[in-house]
């Protein structure tokens, strides 16, 4: 028996204890989108089962994003479909925007499903919920991963204050 599409995702999520974190949400005439909580996305990512898609501005992506995310502007979903498919493989594609009730993220998830992606969800609460939950953040500029708390602290330090700080020497 071959299991494909959402049946496989639900089976995996059920085995991982994640299914209560998934909710179906109606989006009017165009269909339904699955919303996934930040905690569920963290667990899926830890299992290597999620491919985040960042729909925010390029500057916001460079400042910090969910580790492993691909940056795609909403107007480029069609053109980026091949790149997304290649990066995602059999993993669940999870779209996210900047904040809660992000219609752009939900619309992108529906559009990706229309383009033939079988397993697509939208991050409930967007990037704001991800950082509030303490999810790890990657910086495009440095490629490093750091916690949400470190991200907030980093934003308070500007270039001039960093250059005047005395840092301990490591020998």
pLDDT in tens, the chain (171 residues): 333 444 344 434 443 444 444 444 444 334 688 999 999 999 999 999 999 999 999 999 999 999 999 999 999 999 999 999 999 999 999 999 998 877 999 999 999 999 999 999 999 999 999 999 999 999 866 444 433 334 333 333 333 333 333 334 444
Backbone angles phi, psi at 66, to 5 degrees: -65, 135
Cα distances from 52 to residues 39, 100, 154, 160, in angstroms, run 14, 16, 23, 34
pLDDT of residue 128: 96
* pLDDT on residue 141: 60
Domain boundaries, the chain: 5-164
| Nearest of 40, 122, 52 to residue 88 by alpha carbon | 52
Right CATH for 5-164 from 3.90.320.10, 3.40.250.10, 3.40.50.2300, 3.60.15.10: 3.40.250.10
> CA-to-CA distance for 73 and 142, rounded, in angstroms?
21
């Amino acid at each position: 028996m071959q299991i494909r599409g959402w049946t496989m995702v639900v089976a995996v999520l059920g085995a991982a204890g994640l299914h209560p974190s998934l909710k179906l949400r109606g989006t009017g005439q165009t269909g339904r989108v699955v919303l996934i909580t930040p905690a569920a996305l963290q667990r899926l990512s830890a299992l290597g089962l999620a491919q985040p898609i960042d729909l925010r501005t390029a500057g916001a992506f460079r400042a910090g994003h969910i580790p492993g995310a691909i940056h795609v502007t909403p107007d480029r979903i069609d053109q980026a479909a091949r790149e997304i498919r290649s990066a995602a493989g059999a993993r669940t594609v999870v779209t996210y925007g900047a904040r809660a009730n992000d219609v752009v993220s939900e619309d992108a998830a529906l559009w990706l499903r229309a383009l033939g992606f079988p397993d697509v969800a939208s991050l409930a609460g967007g990037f704001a919920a991800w950082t509030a939950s303490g999810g790890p953040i990657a910086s495009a500029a440095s490629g490093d991963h750091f916690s949400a708390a470190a991200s907030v602290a980093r934003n308070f330090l500007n270039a001039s204050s960093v250059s005047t700080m005395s840092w301990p020497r490591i020998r």
